[in-house]
Amino acid sequence: MGTVPVCRRPADGRTDLNLMLLKSAKVVALIIVLVTIAACSTGDWPGSFTPATLPAQGNAAQGKALFQAGTLQATACSACHVVDNSPAEQGPSLVGVATRAESGWSGHSATDYLFRAIVYPNAHIVSGYSGGLMPSNYGQSLNGQQIQDLIAYLLTLK
């Protein structure tokens, strides 16, 4: 009277309880699996901004313009990086960075490497340089499209 017959098998009350326990165990197992997948897919990234959230296409020409001029909020990359054989500035020369990026981060694509270098510069410091020099706010001062454009441009620097 008044009880909701959930999972009820009238003939056997214990089967009823076992079935419910089994179902909760399955739900718990499913939650653990989902949490693990979520943790693994962002585990390599210090924040929630990851390459998976970028728009599909980058425009290398736009990226080049952005690299050279920056924006009101974002310091121009060219203030610190050369892309030809002139002497390096504060940051490393980016001549050949596309090639270095391909094998620079084991298990990751060149895009991942470049995204990390731009958005999380202190997650990996280029050998011979110190951390804390490259602005660490590009993930805020640039949007996903701008970062994808920059990556498309850097991928042309083979």
The answer to whether 58 contacts ligand HEC (rule: CB under 6 A) is no
The answer to whether 95 contacts ligand HEC (rule: CB under 6 A) is no
Rounded to a whole number of angstroms, the minimum distance from the CB of residue 42 to ligand HEC is 21
Structure tokens at 127: 């050998």
One of 50, 125, 144, 145 touching ligand HEC (CB under 6 A): 125
In the complex with ligand HEC, the residue whose CB is nearer, 134 or 152, is 134
One of 45, 62, 135, 144 touching ligand HEC (CB under 6 A): 135
Structure tokens at 156: 């042309």
- Using CB under 6 A, count the residues that bind ligand HEC: 25
Please state the separation of Cα 25 from the chain's center in Å: 33
Radius of gyration of the CA atoms of the chain, in A: 25
The answer to whether 69 contacts ligand HEC (rule: CB under 6 A) is no
Please state the separation of Cα 49 from the chain's center in Å: 5
The answer to whether 82 contacts ligand HEC (rule: CB under 6 A) is no
Angle at 53 between CA 36 and CA 51, to 5 degrees: 80
SS3 114: helix
In the complex with ligand HEC, the residue whose CB is nearer, 16 or 75, is 75
The answer to whether 46 contacts ligand HEC (rule: CB under 6 A) is no
Nearest to 147 by CA among 81, 78, 50, 72: 50
